[in-house]
Amino acid sequence: MSSQNIYILGIESSCDDTAAAVIHNGRILSNIIANQKIHEAYGGVVPELASRAHQQNIVPVVHEALKKANITKEQLHAVAFTKGPGLMGSLLVGTSFAKSLAFGLNIPLIDVNHMQGHILAHYIDEDGFNKPPFPFLAMTISGGHTQIVRVDDYFDMTVIGETIDDAVGEAFDKSGKILGLGYPAGPEIDKRAKLGNPKAFKFTKPKVDGLNFSFSGLKTGILYFIQNETQANPNFVEENINDICASIQYTIIGILIDKLKLAVKQTGIKHIAIGGGVSANSGIRQALKDGEQKFGWTTYVPKFEFTTDNAAMIAIVGYLKYLEGDFAEKNVAASARLKI
């Protein structure tokens, strides 16, 4: 893209992970993430606790990112940060730190949309991973978002479908809570699903017009199913946990693939990219690969470490914006409900 030696620091603090990454001409030199284990005890992210943890973590995380990249802060050309969407308290920590650092170094500040980060993570230079050509369809699936986005250029994106209630990650976590699994439940359901029969139990898919999603009805259906079965057999969940997880995951994947098939039919675009934490799910990844044979799709799945919330995806967006000279004003503010 550019023959210059450009170093960008990316900072991500939209939810419960404090992350910093350094990118050099499109290639990641470091990608440091500090996870917050404190939320596991509460079965979900507690915003106030997340904000406090970000304040504790952000300086050492940035320091480690620079150290691992083997550069000094004076070599940075710009600082990119997550403007939104996310938890306001968490966003404020990253925003304030990025603004102060950029101002102190007298270098450009670049604001990044978190959801664009998930999509543009595909453009990180990484051996063995292809970059989707424009136009392509991106499905962003995470704990807070479920969207299908038409991508015509780096910053020309149109949301053509999204959830009207729960996100797919919430569907996994709430189902896991019903089953007595820990938080986050997605990885545990994925692990158990590999050991179970995906067609053991049938759950109804919500009927939603167009390309939008709904998962709240599925969660309610699972709750009633478990309540009815445990009345007849108190050990039902324990005896059938793998089959239940496999059936839940099979249903959720079916909802996602059905909407993707419709999106491909409506747009004529057969290049499909996924992003977001839930794209780490092995069942979803396999279903997309199967779609290449069944439906003639070409699918793009990012490197595992770039799927969940991370600063590498913020850094690549910062790099692309830097090349276009698209910088933020010093008075830029965080936005919890920022749209693509």
Tens of pLDDT along the chain (340 residues) come to 455 899 999 999 998 889 999 999 999 999 999 876 655 665 667 777 878 888 999 999 999 999 999 999 999 999 999 999 999 999 999 999 999 999 999 999 999 999 999 999 999 999 999 999 999 999 999 888 999 999 999 999 999 999 999 999 999 999 999 999 988 899 999 999 999 999 999 999 999 999 999 999 999 999 999 999 999 999 999 999 999 999 999 999 999 999 999 999 999 999 999 999 899 999 999 999 999 999 999 999 999 999 988 999 999 999 999 999 999 998 999 999 999 9
Q: Does 114 count as an annotated binding residue?
A: yes
CA distance 29 to 66: 9
Cα 284 to its chain centre, rounded Å, is 14
CA distance 147 to 279: 12
| SS3 label, residue 172 | helix
Q: What is the pTM of this model?
A: 0.93
Q: Does 268 count as an annotated binding residue?
A: no
**Overall residue count recorded for the chain in this entry:** 340
Reported as type and span, the H/E element at residue 321 is: helix 312-324
For residue 88, how many other CB atoms are within 10 A of its CB? 16
Which class for 296: exposed (0-12), middle (13-18), buried (19 or more C-beta within 10 A)? exposed
Q: Does 186 count as an annotated binding residue?
A: yes
Q: Does 148 count as an annotated binding residue?
A: no
Q: Does 141 count as an annotated binding residue?
A: yes
Is the separation of the CB atoms in 172 and 186 below 8 Å?
A: yes
Q: Does 145 count as an annotated binding residue?
A: no
User: DSSP string spanning 88-150?
Assistant: HHHHHHHHHHHHHHHHHHT--EEEEEHHHHHHHGGGS--TT-PPPPSSEEEEEESSS-EEEEE
Q: Does 309 count as an annotated binding residue?
A: yes
**Which among 78, 90, 13, 96 has a CA at the least distance from the CA of 333?**
96
Is the separation of the CB atoms in 248 and 189 below 8 Å?
A: yes
Q: Does 209 count as an annotated binding residue?
A: no
State residue 154 phi and psi, 5-degree precision: -50, -45
SS3 content of the chain, % helix, strand, coil (to 5): 50, 20, 35
